[in-house]
Structure 1
Amino acid sequence: MADDLAERIRHAIGEDPNVGEIRMFGGTCFTLNGNMLVGTLKDGALLARVGDEQEPAALAMPGAKRMDFTGREMKGFIMVDAVELDDTALGQWIAMASRFVGPMPPKKKK
C-alpha cells in the first residue's frame, strides 16, 4: 500500500529537481530542499508536515490526526488515513505541506 501511495505522490509532484526521496518510517519520505514534506506509512496512510499554523485546518480534514508514533504527539505533523486519500485530497495535502516546507531554508547535505 505504501508503494502505491508513493507512486501517486511522485505523479502529483512531477519532475521537481528540489524533491528527493529517502526511506523512513517503513515507507518513503519525500523531501523539498532536504526538508521533510510528506511520506508514506506501511498501512498506506500519509504523513504530512503542515506546521503549527496550518495544523487546526489540517486536523479538521477527513481522516486526519496528529502524528503519534511513540505515545507522544508531534505538533505540525499529520497522519491521514488511506481511505481519505483520493487524488484531490492527496493534492491538497501536498499543497498544504508545500506551503509550510517551501519557505524553509534548504538543508545542508552531510
Structure 2
Amino acid sequence: MSYDKELADRVEDLLGARRDAASKRMFGGIAWMVNGNMAVVVRGRGGLMVRVSPDDHDAMLAEPGTSTTVMRGHPMRGWITVEPEACATPSDVAAWVDRGLDHALSLPAK
C-alpha cells in the first residue's frame, strides 16, 4: 500500500525547513528524523505514527482515533498510531507533528 502523499506533504511543510530534520522512506511510508531521532511517520497503511514520551503515552490514547503502535506483534510504548480520520485536518496534523517533534527534541542527538 502506498502512503498518503497529501499527508506527507503536510508533514513536510511543518518539518522540511528545519535544519535538524530529515525524511527517510521506511515502514512503507516516510519517517521524519529530528537530530537523528525519529519523530513522526506517515504510515503506508494510512495515518501517522508519532513518537511521544512513554510517560505521556496513556494520556495520548484518550485522543480519538489513537492506539498503541504495534510492531511485529509487540506494543511499542511511546509510539502512538493516529488513524487517518484523526489527522484529516491541517490543525490535527500540526498538533501530532508538534508532539512528535517535542519528544524528539527532548532526546540526545544521534
TM-score (norm 1): 0.90
Name the CA distance, whole Å, in 1 between partners of 2:40 and 2:26. 11
Displacement, 1:3?
Answer: 2.0
**Identity score, percent:** 29
Displacement, 1:88?
Answer: 1.2
Instruction: Work out whether 1:100 is the aligned partner of 2:100.
Output: no
Root mean square deviation of aligned Cα: 1.2
Structure 1, unaligned stretches of length 5 or more? none
The answer to whether the 8 A contact 2:16-2:22 is kept is: no
SS in 1 for 2:74: coil
TM-score (norm 2): 0.90
SS in 1 for 2:68: strand
Match of 1:37 in 2: 39
Name the CA distance, whole Å, in 1 between partners of 2:11 and 2:59. 21
How many residues are aligned here? 107
How do 1:4-43 and structure 2 match up within 5 A? 4-43=6-45
Per-residue deviation, residues 34-87 of structure 1 (Å, max 9, x unmatched): 100000111321000002111122111111000013111010001000111121
Match of 1:74 in 2: 76
Match of 1:87 in 2: 90
**Structure 1 residues 51, 79: CA separation in 2 closer, same or farther (over 3 Å shift)?**
same
